[in-house]
Structure 1
């Protein structure tokens, strides 16, 4: 089953006075006050003396924060606040106020401002600006998984695959466990044909979510697509051990053994699948093919015999071939019954298999 990430960031836009249901008159008054503070602060920052003081920049940054959280008329106010605090830090140049500015740059307030406005861009499908703000929020709070998660999601939606990889990996490194992130990141690596990384991500996801069957199935699929049948078999066995009644996993394990040439193991698992679901179409069809192919191989031995050898051993070998064709027939007939019960047309490969088996068995009957 393909996992997808769905995150509602609308919930982020619920903090601050702007979202608390104040009437328009009060909100406009507050926005005007904040706008006036920004105008005053911007003017002061351009003054030679005042602009040389970090406190000027700190006040301006705080006004931008208020704009982002409590007014919302400037959709990039949070980014301006962040950059202005950075400017204050530069002006302070290691002075006494450095710690306070650094604290402001890692505060919950600037984080909330960035996340809130990033959510606004996300909801309006402006993924480029949303990514910009979520990226900054992740810098503000580097151990936070939410900002990393959102930055990864938006990076993927904005087709910025490098950003998606960076932030999904960061989410995982910080202890995030959402199975969909592991799946999405593995799909990115699969798309880049980086199978080793895809496998590594899925194994981490399984370690974080040991009961997630979809991640385990995805790991098997990646290993199969890369030709690692032995690893795929090992992973499928774990899936079967965890859910011994899942006929699809049992059947897939049988098919893996069959395709790997391990016929005895394949037969064992085909029969286990039938024990769980006797009318499973795919299992019955594969078992019919299994015995049919064995019969053909035996029949080929007869075709290679010269007259002398045929007179000595031919009939016995032909009897073995006929017995195998007879073993194949009931499985094909079960498939036919399943489709008829479902009211579906018979597949061409089933009708041709049944025709071939019946024809051969008629010849076998004439020989007796």
Structure 2
């Protein structure tokens, strides 16, 4: 059985749990090691007790760098009792650095995979810090035999033009993990009724989205409501809960489990807010967010921002709504004219897409593991998974 050492920057990240489930479903053994953002260490992640590398804080780059350096020094003692892995995955740049250290500790034979699902804004700076970060990434990425990323725009806009990685790339979109235990996607139409509900779910880190949606809901005077669920990035808001509570027709309903709770929460809304201005013009324009796949899989009509990869993705398929300008007035112009028949047509178009556009199943898990297995056995390079984007 293939043994993978998976190094992650945040053990509480729901996406880490999903990747662990995907690897397990593909038939591998995973040793999980990573940092945490909580005072109390995690008991388990997807049934695996993790190796705790210490506590870090979201957004505090210098503190994280110091914690990373300390973890690199202690890595031998942290990993000393585990069996040598067949392969090492580093999830984001800081963990790629630890993957290189771990590879050396275990004799240098285990291939490294670089999993990059976001391009941090520090990597895109034009100053000495940005150049230094990119140089470090290029040096570390030379040791990786495969890059796993979730959007073709990351390759098209960053990795290829900046020369950050010249090896094989595997596109692994942020699809809903469907392993046979989830509720089926809805087969009935959701009627457009007042209040019309917009769901903004997942990583809540965008102050501009909150301000735009708050202003829009206030202007609509109860015809529209905005429901927020997920994990707020408290480093990006002065007081997230207070701001939401003070905004009429907005509500925050806490975290949710992915994929277990998706049918319930998306069954309660009409539209998915698939927009993020957190790093506008850069990462936010290039990503394909989890909420895009989650909402569409459950028949919810997505709203994307013009000029982004998400908008391109929807336009190719002829589904969803594209917001032309990031203003409450533009959102009102987009949504206010929609009546029952127009909404039914938009929802029918989403439902007409094949389910495989939105879900990753056991076959996808096996395909991922087969790709990783090929690296271990130094087999000829396999092509990237063919996933329409």
Q: Give the TM-score normalised by structure 2.
A: 0.21
Structure showing the higher helix proportion among its residues = 1
In our comparison, the structure showing a higher alpha carbon Rg is 1
Higher relative contact order (CA 8 A, sep 6+): 2
Q: What's the TM-score once normalised by structure 1's chain length?
A: 0.22
Bigger share in strand: 2
